[in-house]
Amino acid sequence: MYNTSFIKKILLAATVVLLYSCDKDFNAIGDDLIGDDHFGLESEKYDVIAYNQEVTPIQSNALVTNALGIYDNPVFGTTTANYNTQVALAAYAPSIGETPVIDSVVVNIPYFSRLISTNTNGTHVYELDSIYGKQADATLKLSVYESKFQMRSSYFDNGTQLAQLYYNDQNSDFDTNKGTLLNDDEDQRQNNQFFFSAVEINEKTKDKDNKDVTTLTPPAMRLKLNKAFFQSKILNAAKEKLSAADVFQEYFRGLYFKVEKTEKPSNMALMDFSKGKITVYYKAKTDITTDPDDTKENRTIVINLTGSNVNLLQDVKDTDYQNAVAARNMTTGDKNLYLKGGQGSLAIIELKDFGSKLEEIRKNGWLVNEANLVFHVDAEKMAVKKTDNLQAQEPKRVYLYDFKNSTPLLDYSADGSSSITSDARMSKVIFGGIINVDATTGRGSTYKIRITNHIRNLIKTTTAVNVKLGLVVTDDISIITSNKLKNRIQLNPQVDPNEYFSEAPRASVMNPLGTILFGNNIPAGDSNYDKRLRLEVYYTKPNK
């Protein structure tokens, strides 16, 4: 049951909406949305066992958003994110015209951004979202190549058609199959000194009547591409090569985006490449047979960045992080839980103590009013700074799920609450997992997740299995699909030789960030002993 202040707190939480950004920069409102006044209820706390689990190479194709860039995380290490995508003509069998001559070729991929203000002359000021690492003076060497790697959507195995998966560790496959460098313009800002710019795009083009057209659009990656390549590949192509999707995807296999460090700090952006497009601007005669002197008109061909794609994520792990994950204790649990997205790590949680009390709870007739897992952030470890003097950016949400079956918990499914912002990723606020920020430091303090229905079901249904739970960082709470590991991992053969770790939530692969939480194995007398992970259940207990 929720207390009477619930609606007031919803209204209070809504006042922080302006502080919320499109890039999953969730505000610390999770705890405040759920009442903590448990007057008249009795609390019981149960020990848990929680330990780290490394995520090995994992499927990273068909993600909703993809990372591009290099993020130097002072806690977890360096992540480099490249990207490969197929391309598709906006319209097949195009009428190119006679004697076409190319004017320019531009690829445009919008960033996540928000409008800050509008100037008196009608131009706009934007701020970028989803940028990780140092933003001022950060640059990358960006190379965009023709991809010669044929990405398939499916394959046949013994007569059965299966989806083709691609994995984050396949960068060498695409790098060794790259073709012509396409962003070879003299402007160094689009290649050797590339940076994610928040400046509005001011595009000046010509219409069919050769009149000037000015278009203002939000910030985007906008690169000039090699004209000779597209003159040959598109305008001079044999008609059959542009006639259908399957033929075109074999003929023009896609683009490969590769990043490298420069002498300056680097950073990373999350982007929706599916909204990107290549526009080929050219001139051509309309009908040379009827009028040989016909003036050429301005035309365009649009190529969309759609089809099979893969985010190629490469990590160089920090030594402390690598050692902590490698030394995990599956018997007594770990002191710290390291959660990181991409090919990172997650935590496994076992409610063994609570499970051993189930018969007692049933016998006593205790009624569960609320059950929570509260994860405390190890603020000291997360406060580390490296040479750029920046602290690690923190994931704004974590996701708890049924690890054994890779499915949502009952509390997730039962939560129909919508987002208090325009972003659907802020839905399911009752289930929680939203970061709670310390008012003094401005850094994360806790993540609280309600598992009331999950606990009730274990008590009520004697056949219900007290499954292991998984905890990951998440980029989008609405995405519950899991991605396959390249090779499944046997978890603990001494305990259960048939138990394997074979997949992790897709939304975790999409999130490049990480956090360090306190686990359960904190010795008494330690200053952080009270922050150890425990299950807290509020009961209504009948009078004896």
pLDDT tens sequence across 115-144:
999 999 989 999 999 999 988 899 999 999
Confidence band for 288, pLDDT divided at 50, 70 and 90: low
Chosen domain end from 297, 313, 329: 313
Task: Please check whether residues 49 and 180 belong to one and the same domain.
Answer: no
Asked if residue 65 belongs to a domain, the reply is no
Task: Please check whether residues 332 and 462 belong to one and the same domain.
Answer: yes
Task: Please check whether residues 265 and 305 belong to one and the same domain.
Answer: yes
Confidence band for 291, pLDDT divided at 50, 70 and 90: low
Task: Please check whether residues 220 and 145 belong to one and the same domain.
Answer: yes
Place of tokens 């502080």: 19
- If one counts the domains in the chain, the total is 2
340-397 pLDDT per residue, tens: 999 999 999 999 999 999 999 999 999 999 999 999 999 999 999 987 789 999 999 9
The answer, yes or no, to whether residue 34 has pLDDT greater than 60, is no
**Can you tell me the mean pLDDT for 92-99?**
94
List of long-range contacts for 530-534, beta carbons under 8 Å, 24+ apart: 531/376, 533/48, 533/50, 533/337, 533/349, 533/373, 533/374, 533/375, 533/376, 534/45, 534/46, 534/47, 534/48
What pLDDT does residue 543 have?
77
**Can you tell me the mean pLDDT for 527-540?**
98
Confidence band for 544, pLDDT divided at 50, 70 and 90: low
Q: Which of 41, 27, 38 is nearest to 5 (CA)?
A: 38
What pLDDT does residue 255 have?
98
Confidence band for 425, pLDDT divided at 50, 70 and 90: confident
Task: Please check whether residues 477 and 358 belong to one and the same domain.
Answer: yes
Task: Please check whether residues 244 and 377 belong to one and the same domain.
Answer: no
Q: Out of 13-22, 177-186, 527-536, which region has the weakest mean confidence (pLDDT)?
A: 13-22
What pLDDT does residue 203 have?
82
What pLDDT does residue 222 have?
96
Asked if residue 214 belongs to a domain, the reply is yes
Chosen domain end from 313, 334, 364: 313
Confidence band for 420, pLDDT divided at 50, 70 and 90: confident
Q: Out of 310-319, 350-359, 382-391, 520-529, which region has the weakest mean confidence (pLDDT)?
A: 382-391
Amino acid at 342: G
Handedness of CA 529, 533, 539, 544 (dihedral sign): negative
The H or E element containing residue 228 is helix 227-230
136-171 pLDDT per residue, tens: 899 999 999 999 999 999 988 888 999 999 999 999
The answer, yes or no, to whether residue 176 has pLDDT greater than 90, is yes
What pLDDT does residue 443 have?
97
35-93 pLDDT per residue, tens: 555 556 899 999 999 999 999 999 999 899 999 999 999 999 999 999 999 999 999 99
The answer, yes or no, to whether residue 26 has pLDDT greater than 70, is no
The answer, yes or no, to whether residue 526 has pLDDT greater than 90, is yes
The residue ranking higher by pLDDT, 128 or 493, is 128
What pLDDT does residue 1 have?
38
* 131 contact partners, CB below 8 Å, separation of at least 6: 23, 196, 267, 268, 269
The residue ranking higher by pLDDT, 19 or 391, is 391
The residue ranking higher by pLDDT, 204 or 13, is 204
What pLDDT does residue 11 have?
42
Confidence band for 211, pLDDT divided at 50, 70 and 90: confident
What pLDDT does residue 426 have?
78
In the chain, what percentage of residues exceed pLDDT 70?
A: 91
In the predicted model, what is the mean pLDDT of the chain?
91
Task: Please check whether residues 466 and 371 belong to one and the same domain.
Answer: yes
Asked if residue 185 belongs to a domain, the reply is yes
| 171-193: burial string, b at 16+ Cβ within 10 Å, e else | beebeebbeeebbbeeeeebbee
What pTM, to 2 d.p., does this model score?
0.90
Task: Please check whether residues 253 and 350 belong to one and the same domain.
Answer: no
Interatomic CA distance for residues 102 and 105, integer angstroms = 8
The answer, yes or no, to whether residue 273 has pLDDT greater than 70, is yes
**Can you tell me the mean pLDDT for 86-105?**
96
Asked if residue 408 belongs to a domain, the reply is yes
Asked if residue 467 belongs to a domain, the reply is yes
The residue ranking higher by pLDDT, 299 or 20, is 299
Q: Which domain holds residue 497?
A: 6-59+318-540
The answer, yes or no, to whether residue 20 has pLDDT greater than 70, is no
What pLDDT does residue 275 have?
97
What pLDDT does residue 48 have?
98
Confidence band for 25, pLDDT divided at 50, 70 and 90: very low
Asked if residue 71 belongs to a domain, the reply is no
The answer, yes or no, to whether residue 188 has pLDDT greater than 50, is yes
What pLDDT does residue 422 have?
74
Task: Please check whether residues 302 and 334 belong to one and the same domain.
Answer: no
Interatomic CA distance for residues 305 and 324, integer angstroms = 40
What pLDDT does residue 37 have?
56
Confidence band for 293, pLDDT divided at 50, 70 and 90: low
Chain mean position to CA 214: 34
Interatomic CA distance for residues 139 and 144, integer angstroms = 16
The answer, yes or no, to whether residue 482 has pLDDT greater than 50, is yes
Residues facing residue 268 across a β-bridge: 69, 132
Task: Please check whether residues 309 and 331 belong to one and the same domain.
Answer: no
Task: Please check whether residues 449 and 497 belong to one and the same domain.
Answer: yes
The answer, yes or no, to whether residue 7 has pLDDT greater than 50, is no
Asked if residue 424 belongs to a domain, the reply is yes
Interatomic CA distance for residues 508 and 64, integer angstroms = 12
Q: Which of 489, 487, 505, 501 is nearest to 407 (CA)?
A: 505
Task: Please check whether residues 308 and 322 belong to one and the same domain.
Answer: no
Interatomic CA distance for residues 476 and 467, integer angstroms = 24
**Can you tell me the mean pLDDT for 451-467?**
97
Chosen domain end from 286, 313, 340: 313
Asked if residue 249 belongs to a domain, the reply is yes
Cβ(281)–Cβ(119) under 8 Å? no
